[in-house]
Structure 1
Amino acid sequence: MSAFRTWTAWSCTVRLTVDDPSVLRAACGELKALMDRVDKAASRFRADSELSIVNNRAGTMVPVSRLLVDLVDVSLVAASMSGGAVDPTVGSAVIAAGYDDDIEAVRRRFPQSADEPQEIPGWQQVRLNRKLALLGIPKDSALDLGATAKAWTADRAAMVLSKRFGCAVLVEIGGDLRAAGQREKPWVISVAERAGDPGVLVTLAHGGLTTSTRTVRRWQTPEGHAHHVIDPRTGSPADGPYRTASVWAPTAVRANTFSTALVATGEAALGRLTLAGHPARLIADDGEVTEVAGWPAASRAA
């Protein structure tokens, strides 16, 4: 028998499900505490976060916590794995596009003009001294860990909670899910572009399942809609062939690396996904669905 609790944080829905109802309250407390630590370390929207301090002191090496070291390290691995499609140095470009506050606050400014596309310095320019816990970025640049920090938190929480409480756990933070622990039957997941939309049902026994889309975190500008997924090649919101991508991988970070890359750079990321062999479901601008690399053919409309 499973039990779950749902709440809102980080401008998205958080859901924690466990197959031992007696541990739900304690597990929720652990997840909220972890999310609070990650927020204080890596939020772009908090002036007092470590990430904001690093961005404000761009051009210098800044002492940071081990948690932020881990989060930046994960983002750099994702950048390398994706061939630069998922680049943490897109922070200035995200801000230039208009995403400089909580998404609801951004939408209330309607309509707003976007600034000129920003040149992306590139993830290779990030200086991370893991031993001394020092972090530096190029002058006039900014980091944005949104593509990996949420997935890392889902991974970390699922693994820690399943071991601590000795039960199967499913953590969902926005479009990033991670299953951990042994369960008699797999979790049944509805995969959709947006919460409440019709989706497809798939089963998830372990690993990560993520959905990246440019249809949710978007806002109106005089030039049309803008969104938060930046193509590092142009410094502008992505306009490739895929508006949404759902990917399964052994971890949520790995799944989100590929799902974000597919939305950000389109066909350029498809070859890497094929080589990795991760199942994926892609939705084109016109709504056409493509399922690749073993996405379950038995998936059906929810």
Structure 2
Amino acid sequence: MLDQVNCNSAALQSDILRAMNTDIDFMLWSKREEFPGLAQLARIWFQTVEKQFSRFREDSELTQLNSSAGKPTLISPLMLEVLQLAQNYSKITEGVFNPLILFALKKAGYNDSFEKLKDQFLDSSINSRKQTYGKFTDELSSEMFSLSLILDSETRTIQLPVGAEIDLGGIVKSWAVKRLVHEYQHLLKIERGFVNAGGDLTVWGSSSDSGEPWLIGIENPWQPSQDIGLLALNNGSVATSSILGRQWSSPKGQMHHLIDPHTMQPSQSEVVQCTVTGPDVIECEIWTKAICILGLEKGLKLLSQKSSGYEAVMFTTQKETYFYGDKSSLGKVWKDLSFQHVLYK
């Protein structure tokens, strides 16, 4: 479906597509005759990313790579780029972001796309305050945290540790958004717009001729169909992670998809949802997950030590809302939100 406004000249026009098991919507300032080509660019790009990086496709490059653990494997330039980013953010987060978690996701029962998984195992108590999630035992669990990839950028090869498999779901969506926005904004010179891939999004320019910011809804973690507040941005990015959206029951107990790499179990922190905003959409996604996994105290301490220019809103198991950021952002950037706890940078 295309939404075209004032189509005789340049205007904000939008489209939506489905890829990577999520909805991808975007709005671009363009002429009517130019927009179909711009929309096709997004469609082809996200289809390409899905084909290379999906762990649910037998023909994906990632699936083939995971079947070659223990030996050097030639990889594509795109795979090299993402794996280099993954290594970098693993160092920045002191191992909290770890791509070598696929075996743990599988042990937790996340063996298929969530669209299929939820039809079989979705727990009816998804909105409960339950803090304790199911655990499983595996002799590799205690060892996996210390394993690392052997990545050679000159030969464009990688060697996975024996028994290890990669999951790039924690970074590839935001990376794809960043790449596409760069194409639109800097190469095609589109003055304003946004790209949103399942909550990982970047906006640039303004939402109106009068310079109004883009208003981004912040999902209510306990009532996903409703927004609990708004984020006002002219240029910037935002990402959200939640343990409530991808949660299911299994014979081992209730599970979710955010794995703590220290234990290789679903994380047990008090944070059920975190939204981070800042200049880089990849960092936003990384920090939302790190804070959900580590919890408020450790997560915010690490964020303050490692990155600047980022703010966060967190929701806890006790249904309390925390803000971390600049005092000037309250009411200006973060709108219509009620905070029980405010932590200034």
Q: In which range does the TM-score fall when normalised by the shorter chain? A: over 0.9
- Alignment partners' CA distance in 2, 1:236 and 1:110: 18
In the alignment, is the contact (CA less than 8 A) between 1:185 and 1:205 conserved in 2? yes
- Alignment partners' CA distance in 1, 2:163 and 2:252: 26
- Alignment partners' CA distance in 2, 1:203 and 1:52: 39
1:1-302 alignment runs, 5 A limit? 1-20=11-30, 22=32, 23-110=34-121, 116=137, 119=141, 121-122=144-145, 125-163=148-186, 164-180=188-204, 184-193=211-220, 195-266=224-295, 267-275=297-305, 276-277=307-308, 278-294=310-326, 296-298=329-331, 299-300=335-336
Give the superposed CA RMSD: 2.3
| CA distance 1:185–1:95, change in 2 (3 Å) | same
The Cα of 1:7 is off from its aligned counterpart by 2.8
| CA distance 1:57–1:4, change in 2 (3 Å) | same
Residue 19 of structure 1: SS of its match in structure 2? Answer: strand
- Structure 1 unaligned regions, length at least 5: none
- Alignment partners' CA distance in 2, 1:38 and 1:17: 20
Residue 82 of structure 2: SS of its match in structure 1? Answer: helix
The Cα of 1:5 is off from its aligned counterpart by 1.6
| CA distance 1:285–1:21, change in 2 (3 Å) | farther
| CA distance 1:54–1:204, change in 2 (3 Å) | same
Q: What CA deviation, in whole Å up to 9, does each residue of 1:193-252 have, x standing for no partner?
A: 465222211111222200011111121224442111000111011110101110012111
The amino acid across from 2:330 in the alignment is A
Count of residue correspondences:
302
The Cα of 1:73 is off from its aligned counterpart by 0.9
- Alignment partners' CA distance in 1, 2:337 and 2:198: 21
- Alignment partners' CA distance in 2, 1:286 and 1:239: 14
In the alignment, is the contact (CA less than 8 A) between 2:53 and 2:168 conserved in 1? yes
The amino acid across from 2:64 in the alignment is I
Percent identical across equivalent pairs? 22
| CA distance 1:256–1:123, change in 2 (3 Å) | farther
The Cα of 1:115 is off from its aligned counterpart by 5.0
| CA distance 1:123–1:157, change in 2 (3 Å) | farther
- Structure 2 unaligned regions, length at least 5: 1-10, 124-133, 339-345
- Alignment partners' CA distance in 2, 1:201 and 1:37: 32
- Alignment partners' CA distance in 2, 1:40 and 1:85: 27
In the alignment, is the contact (CA less than 8 A) between 2:104 and 2:259 conserved in 1? yes
- Alignment partners' CA distance in 2, 1:268 and 1:238: 13
Residue 269 of structure 2: SS of its match in structure 1? Answer: coil
Q: What CA deviation, in whole Å up to 9, does each residue of 1:49-80 have, x standing for no partner?
A: 11111111111111110000001111111111
Structure of higher CA gyration radius: 2
